[in-house]
Amino acid sequence: QVQLVESGGGLVQPGGSLTLSCVASGSISSVNAMGWYRQAPGKQRELVATLTSGGHTNYAESLKGRFTISRDNAKNTVYLQMNSLKPEDTAVYYCWLATMRNVYWGQGTQVTVSS
**Each residue's pLDDT tens digit, 52-94:** 999 999 999 999 999 999 999 888 899 999 999 999 999 999 9
* Average pLDDT value for residue range 1-13: 95
Average pLDDT, the chain: 95
Distance CA 34, CA 20 (A): 13
Residue 27: pLDDT above 90? no
CB 25 within 8 A of CB 78: no
pLDDT band at 100; cut points 50, 70, 90:
confident
Q: What percent of the chain clears pLDDT 70, i.e. is strictly above it?
A: 100
Distance CA 94, CA 96 (A): 6
Residue 28: pLDDT above 80? no
52 DSSP β-pair partners: 33
DSSP string, 25-90: EES-TTEEEEEEEEE-TTS--EEEEEEETTS-EEE-GGGBTTEEEEEEGGGTEEEEEE-S--GGG-
